[in-house]
Amino acid sequence: MSNTQVKLKSKPEGNPNTDNFEVIAANTPVPADGEILCKTLYLSLDPYMRGQISGRHISGTINPGDLMRGECVGEVIDPNGADFKIGDKITFHGGWQKYFTAPASDVKPVDSRLEPASLALGIMGMPGLTAYAGVFYLGELKETDTVLVSAASGAVGSMVGQMALNLGCRVIGIAGSDEKCGWLHDTAGFHGTINYKTEELADAIRRECPNGVDYYFDNVGGDMLDTVMQQLAIGARVVLCGLMAQYNTDVIPPGPNPATIIKARATVRGLVVYDFFDKIQEFLDYAIPLLDSDKIKYTEDVSDGLDQAPEAFARLMNGKNFGKTIIKVS
Ligand SMILES: NC(=O)c1ccc[n+]([C@@H]2O[C@H](COP(=O)([O-])OP(=O)(O)OC[C@H]3O[C@@H](n4cnc5c(N)ncnc54)[C@H](OP(=O)(O)O)[C@@H]3O)[C@@H](O)[C@H]2O)c1
């Protein structure tokens, strides 16, 4: 049996094209002890692969000459003594090739309820799990939330939206064509859709989310993230998941790069002290004993007389103050 493999030939600049890849005939791998041989039934193509090619993905780098990586649904054709039957379906990161070997202990059987088995690579696989995590572990979704999701017709986005619908939320999807928007509304049951290629995004968000966005699941980053962030409701939650707007470019847009937040699994929260005024006594009971026992240090930048206030303010705003700026008035 001849194997077919797809390797990276060159690193793309901008959008990848077919010239960046080469399809070659190779020998079919022979399973070593403890390995099984599988025929690839389905190969998942995912945006993260572009990050691997750029060397910017947490899962590692693909260089020219390397076999492209990717998750597959494979059919076992040689169990090689392992506890599998010929024809069993499994998932494994077998790469872009027709046949692959895999350690028997590392493959995962495809859940027999999944039909077609390709679902194990999409809405019922890694992308679906991504959506589930965003909704149930990071989202703190409430029935009253207005949920906005970008790249909404994809595996991740469509699952975010539909799980939010199941929770009773109002769900709006952003997508890049009327066909996608039609599917989101008519088939998936989203309450509203925005075609960001034909509509002015900010206006459309105002129309679909008149009370602001309570939960935004971001698959895109860039200008779209920036625009949505300006219409967050008080108490909004934003899950940064993907960066479609910047995978194909080496020029990272100015401002905080969502990639840093995603990689660190960081939580970014807005703070307005007004919301905590009822905690003042709790704070003082905590902090005054620390001050009294010299465990808290402080400096004050004290100016004498109200007439010094303009100058002190100018110093403060120029970073020339050191410590809390105070005017000793009388
Ligand atoms: N953080 C994680 O662990 C994790 C895991 C899985 C996936 N993800 C991310 O989740 C996102 C969605 O993944 P998916 O597999 O479900 O993909 P997908 O939504 O099927 O495909 C990507 C979609 O992104 C949209 N898009 C928006 N701006 C784009 C741009 N500038 N260039 C190209 N496409 C653009 C396109 O749809 P429109 O036409 O609607 O714009 C495109 O169809 C990706 O960003 C992916 O990297 C993250």
How confident is the model over 191-208, as pLDDT tens digits? 999 999 999 999 999 999
Q: What is the mean pLDDT of the chain?
A: 94
User: What ligand 1 atom has the least distance to the C-alpha of 222?
Assistant: 31
Measured CA angle at 328 (ends 325, 330), to 5 deg: 160
CATH number of 126-272: 3.40.50.720
Q: Is 95 in the pocket of ligand 1 (CB under 6 A)?
A: no
Q: For position 129, what pLDDT does the model report? A: 93
Residue 27 half-sphere exposure toward CB, CA atoms < 13 A:
3
259 CB neighbour count, 10 Å cutoff: 18
Q: Ligand 1 centre from 244 Cα, in Å?
A: 5
Distance 82 CA to ligand 1 centre (A): 37
Ligand 1 centroid – CA 174 distance (Å): 11
Residues in the chain, how many? 330
- Which CATH class, in words, describes the domain spanning 2-121? alpha beta
Q: What angle do CA 48, 52, 57 make, to 5 degrees?
A: 70
Measuring from atom 31 of ligand 1, which residue has the nearest CA? 245
Q: Which two tokens stand for residue 199?
A: 């509509």
Domain ranges across the chain: 2-121, 126-272, 274-328
Q: Please tell me if the CB atom of residue 215 comes closer than 6 angstroms to any atom of ligand 1.
A: no
Q: 131 CB under 6 A from ligand 1?
A: no
Entry pTM: 0.91
Q: How far apart are CA 109 and CA 270, in angstroms?
A: 43
Residue pair 146/233 in contact by the 8 Å Cβ criterion: yes
Share of the chain above pLDDT 70, in %: 100
| Tokens of residue 276, six digits | 């905590």
Q: Which ligand 1 atom is at minimum distance from the Cα of 262? A: 1
CA–centroid distance, 323 to ligand 1, in Å, is: 46
**Any idea which residue has 């993905």 for tokens?**
57
Q: What is the pLDDT of residues 19-29, one digit of tens each?
A: 999 999 999 99
Tell me the C-alpha distance between 46 and 52, whole Å: 11
pLDDT bracket for residue 130 (50, 70, 90): very high
210 CB neighbour count, 10 Å cutoff: 9
* 224 close to 201: Cβ distance less than 8 angstroms: yes
